[in-house]
């Protein structure tokens, strides 16, 4: 986990230099546009445009598929459940008790699968090319979110790697104490509680160390790292808007637009 | 950097943490002049850390405790003059705030609201001052313990404090790390003229650097105050008894009676060890563990010593080579310890982890000691007898109903050893058992291990502690 976080700290593709706040907005615009309707055309158009844009994301094939792995697991599962249990319409293809597959539910399944990919891929790709420190700088300096929460959260992120090591040690210690053979579920609960206790202690120490460095004292804080927001950021947001608008327009023109609130 | 040090004034100062009956500190009256370098000593529980936290202004407000008297830094309350005092704590891992070295050093300056150019100028000179010459975007997670402490020191120096407060900054470090940090502190106080107050069990580390020693009395106030040699001459014996490492009064080494019938218990051949598949940290290790013998495993930080200990303890599988248990020792449990069931392991190999908190499972000391015997399904009377015996032997009787997490460092260490002894394993594996321990706990631990060895138990200890190795080890394995 720490390695994964650190691996992002130094990359040279153009996208890495874009302010994370712009990435966040672009991903949210695309996601929002795709949430408005459930139809295959809008998702397909968005996905097609994203496939072209991926070239500039600076991810290798391997890296891309590893990072987006959760999507590739979620998508077929969503498709399967929608096909089996989704609202039925059109001709019946297959039935088994309550379970039925129809033209309508198959179409819905396809639309759902494409939609998850189209909204998920840009969100993940933009996120993995973002350094958490830069994101925090952007949230505090560009969006003016409260610095206590932003920096507190960022510092907390440093502890995640330690928690993973702690968990490993806790597991080994339970084996060493003779309670590692049975009661897996109960042991998991106890171990999770032990990790919680340890993490609260670590967090308390970290908070003291931060306070000792003057964090949270009255007076204005300055920022060692600038968080610039210029034409590159605007371009990325415009790209997001264009992808979203193209998807919506294509669906309306093709007559497949199904506004979910309508 | 800044020109001078701060003056510290305590007048009848005391502090009682909210929810506690007894005061942590009381009746403290002392004046420390600008630029003085003070070593603050006292038995554990004398309130040394409380004083340092108060001076750093991080003790909290009225909700957190009650204050008596007055404590002033340059005539002002510490919480009103943030940035005048800077504090470095004991645990290297819990003080890193940000992911990159430069950002972490800059953090304090940002909080002071300094202009950007000034921040980066100070970051550069602070890193130079502590001798940490790394790129500014070097990941902080890749630093060693000693480097992390120097990073914390650099973050403090960049704020140009007039009062430098160090709370056992070297207790968790290996000998190289201790020297690194000590030298960095020496250089920077000489340059800045800041007032220095340091807490440390090991007097030898700081003795030549400080010009004054103040000993806090656990009953309140100051026990002794003066030049290091004078204070140590008059109070050395009493301090040593209270657990302070005074070079003139080293803890007594035990007298061993070697076990006559030593037998081979475990044999590792061409071992390659690592915590994850494909991540071998040390390889080609040949090692034997025998009854009545103590094996010390030493080597630099990150050399794989602890991983080897976990492997010898049967907790992780060797990635290469073989670890075989002698049939007599295995007693029907199979040849490879890593394949033993958890309960089979319990009576054969016991492991004391570096951090005692990792191995605590119960909400009272008594229950904690009973975990092993109960897992062995011993009769309740036998469980009670073993627990009572260990409580007595490790001076834990008065703490029987306390929560293990609330104990002091030394008490936690004693309890973690006792919990393992409760199952009476033939082999005891300990990871850095003396790390951060005061001399009293050290002496007790060494005496206990010597006793176990004389009874024919086997001890494997991963350690940096040369005195510990000299006191009990029969052989030493150095991991390159």
The answer to whether the CB of A196 falls within 8 A of the CB of B367 is no
Distance from CA of B417 to the nearest CA of A (A): 11
For B260, the token pair is 């006559």
pLDDT band at A261 (very low <50, low <70, confident <90, very high): low
Contact A224 B103 (CB under 8 A): yes
| Residue A180, min C-alpha distance to chain B (Å) | 5
Helix axes A132-141, A147-157, angle to 10 degrees: 180
User: What's the pLDDT at A11?
Assistant: 52
pLDDT of residue A185: 82
Q: Is the pLDDT score of A251 beyond 60?
A: yes
Instruction: Say what the pTM is.
Output: 0.82
Please list the ranges in chain B whose pLDDT falls under 50.
1-2
Q: How far apart are CA A220 and CA B112, in angstroms?
A: 8
Contacts with B270 (C-beta within 8 Å, 6 or more apart), sequence order? B283, B284, B285, B286, B320, B321, B322
Question: Residue B181 and residue B149: Cα distance in Å, rounded?
Answer: 7
State whether residue B359 sits within 8 Å of chain A by CB: yes
- Is residue A220 predicted with pLDDT exceeding 80? yes
- Residues of A within 8 A of B310 (CB-CB) are 172
The whole-angstrom distance between A174's CA and the closest CA on chain B is: 7
Task: Tell whether B117 lies on the interface with A, counting CB pairs under 8 A.
Answer: no
Contact A132, B97 (CB under 8 A): no
Residues of B in contact with A169 (CB under 8 A): 353, 355, 358
Tell me which residues of chain B, numbers 17 to 56, contact chain A at a CB-CB cutoff of 8 Å: 53, 56
Most confident of A82-86, A111-115, A137-141: A137-141
Q: How confident is the model at residue A136 (pLDDT cuts 50, 70, 90)?
A: very high
Shortest alpha-carbon distance between residue A43 and chain B (Å): 37
Please, are residues B153 and B188 in contact by the beta-carbon 8 Å criterion?
yes
Q: What is the pLDDT of residues B342-359, one digit of tens each?
A: 999 999 999 999 889 999
Residues shown for chain B: 480
pLDDT at A247: 93
Residue B381, min C-alpha distance to chain A (Å): 20
Residues of chain B positioned with their CB less than 8 A from the CB of A166: 358
Query: If pLDDT is split at 50, 70 and 90, which confidence band does A12 have?
Result: low
* A208 to B53: CB separation less than 8 angstroms, yes or no: yes
Mean pLDDT of A54-67: 82
CB spacing of A176 vs B372 below 8 angstroms:
no
Question: Residue A140: is its pLDDT beyond 90?
Answer: yes
The pLDDT of residue A262 is 57
Shortest Cα distance from A53 to chain B (angstroms)? 29
Q: Which pLDDT score, from 0 to 100, does residue A13 have?
A: 62
Could you tell me the maximum CA-CA distance found in chain A, to the nearest angstrom?
70
Describe the crossing of helices A231-254 and A20-35 by its angle, rounded to 10 degrees.
Answer: 10
**Given the structure tokens 């706990």, which residue do they identify?**
B441
Q: Do B375 and A178 touch (CB under 8 A)?
A: yes
Minimal Cβ distance to A132: which of B99, B310, B355: B99
What is the 3 state secondary structure string of A139-208? Answer: HHHCCCCCHHHHHHHHHHHCCHHHHHHHHHHHHHHHHHCCCCCCCHHHHHHHHHHHHHHHHHHHHHHHHH
> Where is pLDDT greater, at A182 or B127?
B127
**pLDDT band per the 50, 70, 90 thresholds, residue A172:** very high
**Rounded distance between C-alpha atoms, residue A71 and residue B10, angstroms:** 62
B163 half-sphere exposure, CB direction, 13 A CA radius: 28
CA distance A46 to chain B (A): 35
Would you call B377 an interface residue with chain A, using a CB distance cutoff of 8 Å?
Answer: no
- Which residues on B lie below 8 Å from A172 (Cβ)? 310, 315-316, 351, 353
CA distance B409 to chain A (A): 14
H or E segment to which residue B212 belongs: strand B212-216
Q: Is there a contact between B423 and B350 (Cβ–Cβ < 8 Å)? A: yes
Q: In angstroms, rounded to a whole number, what is the distance separating the alpha carbons of residues A165 and B156?
A: 28
Are the beta carbons of A212 and B358 separated by less than 8 Å? no
Least CB–CB distance from B86: residue in A179, A212, A224: A212
Q: Three-state SS for B103?
A: helix
8 Å CB contact of A175 and B113: no
- List of chain B residues whose C-beta atoms are within 8 Å of the C-beta of residue A10: 137
CB-closest option in A175, A181, A214 to B82: A214
Alpha carbon of A237: minimum distance to chain B alpha carbons (Å): 28
Interface test with A, best of B111, B115, B119 (most A CBs within 10 A): B111
Beta strands in B64-125 (DSSP E): 65-73, 85-88
Phi first, then psi: give them for residue B30, nearest 5 degrees. -160, 150
Residues of A8-42 as b/e, b for ≥16 C-beta within 10 angstroms?
bbeeeeebbebbbbbbbbbbbbbbebbebbbbbbb
Which residue on chain B is closest to A209 by alpha carbon? B95
Contacts of B342 in chain A (CB under 8 A): 174-181
pLDDT at residue A5 above 50?
no
Residues of A in contact with B57 (CB under 8 A): 211-212
Report the alpha-carbon distance of residue A87 to residue B332 in Å, rounded: 61
How does DSSP classify residue B7? P
Mutate to test the interface with B, among A141, A164, A177 (most CBs of B within 10 A): A177
Q: Do A212 and B56 touch (CB under 8 A)?
A: yes
Give the number of A-B residue pairs with CB atoms closer than 8 Å: 171
Say which residue, B280 or A89, is predicted with more confidence: B280
Q: Is B135 on the interface with A (CB under 8 A)?
A: no
Q: Which residue does chain A place closest to B421, by CA atoms? A: A177
Return the SS3 of B171: coil
Contact B103 A202 (CB under 8 A): no
Is A224 close to B350, i.e. CB distance below 8 A? no
Query: What's the pLDDT at B422?
Result: 94
């Amino acid at each position: 986990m720490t390695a994964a976080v650190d691996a992002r700290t130094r990359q040279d593709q153009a996208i890495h230099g874009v302010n994370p706040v712009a990435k966040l907005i672009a991903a949210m615009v695309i996601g929002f546009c795709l949430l408005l309707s459930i139809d295959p055309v809008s998702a397909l158009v968005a996905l097609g445009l994203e496939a072209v844009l991926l070239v500039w994301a600076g991810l290798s094939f391997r890296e891309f598929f590893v990072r987006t792995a959760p999507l590739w697991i979620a998508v077929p599962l969503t498709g399967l459940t929608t096909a089996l249990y989704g609202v039925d319409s059109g001709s019946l293809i297959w039935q088994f008790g309550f379970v039925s597959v129809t033209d309508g539910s198959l179409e819905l399944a396809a639309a759902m699968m494409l939609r998850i990919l189209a909204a998920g891929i840009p969100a993940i790709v933009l996120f993995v090319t973002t350094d958490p420190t830069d994101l925090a700088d952007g949230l505090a300096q560009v969006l003016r979110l409260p610095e206590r929460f932003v920096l507190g959260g960022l510092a907390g992120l440093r502890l995640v790697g330690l928690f993973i090591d702690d968990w490993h040690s806790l597991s080994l210690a339970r084996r060493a104490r003779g309670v590692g053979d049975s009661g897996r579920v109960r042991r998991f609960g106890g171990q999770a509680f032990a990790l919680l206790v340890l993490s609260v202690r670590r967090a308390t120490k970290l908070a003291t160390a931060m306070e000792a460095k003057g964090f949270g004292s009255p007076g204005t804080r300055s920022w060692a790292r600038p968080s610039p927001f210029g034409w590159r950021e605007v371009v990325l947001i415009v790209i997001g808007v264009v992808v979203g608008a193209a998807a919506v327009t294509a669906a309306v023109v093709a007559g497949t637009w199904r506004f979910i609130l309508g | 950097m800044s020109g001078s040090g701060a003056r510290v004034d305590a007048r009848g100062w005391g502090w009682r943490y909210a929810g506690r009956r007894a005061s942590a500190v009381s009746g403290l009256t002392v004046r420390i002049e600008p630029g003085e370098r003070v070593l603050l000593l006292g038995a554990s529980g004398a309130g040394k850390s409380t004083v340092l936290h108060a001076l750093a202004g991080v003790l909290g407000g009225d909700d957190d405790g009650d204050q008596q008297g007055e404590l002033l830094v340059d005539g002002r309350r510490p919480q009103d003059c943030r940035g005048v005092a800077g504090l470095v704590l004991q645990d290297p891992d819990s003080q890193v705030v940000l992911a990159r070295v430069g950002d972490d050093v800059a953090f304090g300056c940002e909080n002071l609201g300094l202009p950007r150019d000034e921040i980066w100028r100070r970051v550069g000179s602070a890193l130079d001052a502590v001798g940490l010459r790394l790129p500014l975007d070097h990941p902080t997670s890749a630093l060693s313990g000693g480097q992390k402490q120097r990073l914390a020191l650099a973050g403090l120096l960049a704020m140009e404090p007039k009062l430098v407060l160090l709370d056992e900054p070297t207790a968790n470090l290996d000998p190289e790390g201790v020297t690194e940090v000590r030298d960095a502190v020496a250089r920077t106080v000489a340059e800045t003229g800041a007032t220095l107050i340091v807490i440390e069990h090991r007097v030898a580390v700081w003795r030549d650097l400080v010009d004054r020693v103040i000993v806090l009395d656990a009953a309140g106030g100051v026990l002794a105050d003066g030049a290091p040699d004078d204070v140590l001459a008059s109070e050395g014996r009493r301090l040593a008894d209270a657990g302070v490492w005074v070079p003139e009064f080293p803890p007594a080494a035990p007298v061993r009676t070697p076990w006559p019938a030593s037998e081979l218990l475990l044999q590792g051949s061409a071992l390659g060890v690592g915590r994850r598949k494909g991540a071998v940290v040390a390889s080609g290790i040949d090692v034997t563990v025998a009854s009545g013998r103590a094996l010390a495993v030493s080597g630099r930080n990150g050399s794989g010593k602890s991983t080897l200990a976990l492997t010898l303890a049967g907790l992780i599988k060797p990635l290469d080579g073989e670890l075989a248990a002698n049939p007599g020792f295995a007693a029907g449990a199979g040849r490879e310890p890593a394949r033993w069931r958890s309960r089979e392991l319990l009576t054969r190999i016991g492991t004391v982890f570096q951090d005692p908190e990792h191995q605590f499972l119960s909400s009272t000391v008594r229950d904690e000691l009973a975990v092993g015997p109960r897992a062995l399904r011993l009769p309740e009377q036998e469980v009670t007898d073993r627990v009572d015996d260990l409580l007595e032997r490790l001076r834990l009787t008065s703490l029987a109903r306390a929560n293990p997490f609330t104990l002091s460092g030394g008490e936690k260490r004693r309890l973690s050893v006792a919990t393992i002894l409760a199952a009476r394993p033939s082999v005891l594996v300990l990871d850095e058992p003396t790390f951060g321990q005061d001399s009293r706990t050290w002496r007790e631990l060494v005496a206990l291990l010597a006793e176990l060895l004389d009874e024919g138990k086997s001890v494997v200890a991963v350690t940096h502690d040369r005195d510990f190795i000299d006191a009990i080890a029969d052989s030493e394995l150095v991991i390159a």
